[in-house]
Amino acid sequence: MDALELVRVRELEVAVRIWHPEAPRTVIAWHGLARHGGDFADFARVLGPGWRVLAPDTPGRGLSSWSLYPAHDYLYAHYMKVAVAVLDHFGLEQVPWVGTSMGGLIGMLMAAEPETASRIERLVLNDVGPELDPEGLASLASYFGVPHRFCRFGELEAELRRHYTGFGIESDDAWRRLALDSARRLPDGSWTYHYDPRIGEQFVHDTPRDTWADWAAIRCLLMVVRGADSPLLKADSVTRMAEAQPGLVSLEVPGCGHAPMLDRQSQVRPIADFLDRPRRRVLPGAAGGALNWWQRGLRWLKGASAG
């Protein structure tokens, strides 16, 4: 990154990683559930010096504060408040938003809510949408709902390669950089991931909502990127997304699952072209019918805990 700014949201400090700070245009890039803003380093490089890329670390991740009140702060409603605080800090009345997984959902909810819709100029969802596969969601909740500890750094890197194979990373150097950016040493000398292990509690505490209704309410330009092998966002879900929002631009990335890393020309150039499209009002069609993956995921996790 080229710069770092720290934004206060109540007692929390939110780190915002910045590339090309003097660029004439700005885009927000928001990471997934257990990642951080550093994932967008290659995205910023490929997008080029004409764009200032602001990539916040969500509370509980990366360089941002961990919450003393996870049941209150590790929720989408609070992440939206953090997002508004970031936009206000940088004086951004309206901005394009690129979001991977959780970061895409934050952007989607921002674009759907009347109070914040005007802040999102256009939206790119990276391997996420209003309908997510319940088995894939349950697997995600199970993995990040428990602490992970590794005796050696090499074990952490090996686990990253296994768990994040869906990123489509190809080089050993890129895997090593991902491991270096993901590791945190524990007091006993062992290793774990950078994030607060309690971030997974959002699957328990968050409030279910009709995300298809949210999707139908959006009026800005929309694009979805899907990993061709994604276990979370199915191809037929993208079809239904396009039926509800006929102006949707879609890109399927071969050799990736959940979620494409947005680290190379073939993935970033279509996004750059989308960011350059003339602005216009998007008129959505009929919603595809609510399939409340959010509620089903919560029910699955609570049932597993009770068992």
Q: Among 62-76, 147-161, 178-192, 285-299, whose mean pLDDT is lowest? A: 285-299
Half-sphere exposure of 224 (CA within 13 A, CB side): 29
Q: Is the pLDDT of residue 4 over 60?
A: yes
- What residue type is assigned to position 155 of the chain? E
- Residue 298 confidence class, pLDDT cut points 50, 70, 90: low
pLDDT at 239: 98
The answer to whether the pTM exceeds 0.75 is: yes
Pick from 68, 178, 55: nearest CA to 107: 55
- Residue 204 confidence class, pLDDT cut points 50, 70, 90: confident
Among all chains, which residue has been given the structure tokens 């995921």? 297
What are the structure tokens assigned to 240, written together? 């239904």
- Residue 305 confidence class, pLDDT cut points 50, 70, 90: low
pLDDT at 289: 41
Mean pLDDT of 279-288: 53
What are the structure tokens assigned to 139, written together? 């697997």
For 73-116, give the DSSP string. Answer: HSSHHHHHHHHHHHHHHTT-SSEEEEEETHHHHHHHHHHHSTTT
- The domain covering 3-306 belongs, at the CATH homologous superfamily level, to Alpha/Beta hydrolase fold, catalytic domain (3.40.50.1820)
- Residue 205 confidence class, pLDDT cut points 50, 70, 90: confident
Q: Is the pLDDT of residue 178 over 70?
A: yes
Mean pLDDT of 22-27: 98
Percent above pLDDT 90 for the chain = 83
Q: Sketch the domain layout of the chain as residue ranges.
A: 3-306
Residue-wise pLDDT tens digits, 83-141: 999 999 999 999 999 999 999 999 999 999 999 999 999 999 999 999 999 998 888 88
Q: Is the pLDDT of residue 293 over 90?
A: no
- How many angstroms separate the CA atoms of 178 and 174, rounded? 6
Pick from 49, 2, 3: nearest CA to 26: 49
Q: Is the pLDDT of residue 283 over 80?
A: no
| Mean pLDDT for all residues in the chain | 92
Give how far Cα 22 sits from Cα of 2, 10, 208, 274, Å: 10, 28, 40, 22
- Residue 290 confidence class, pLDDT cut points 50, 70, 90: very low
- What residue type is assigned to position 76 of the chain? Y
Q: Is the pLDDT of residue 302 over 90?
A: no
- Which has the higher per-residue pLDDT, 304 or 243? 243
Query: Which residues pair with residue 26 across a beta bridge?
Result: 52
pLDDT at 141: 83
pLDDT at 202: 87
Cβ proximity of 194 and 36 under 8 Å: yes
pLDDT at 142: 84
- How many angstroms separate the CA atoms of 222 and 108, rounded? 10
Element (H, E) at 70: helix 70-73
Q: Among 27-41, 200-214, 257-271, whose mean pLDDT is lowest? A: 200-214
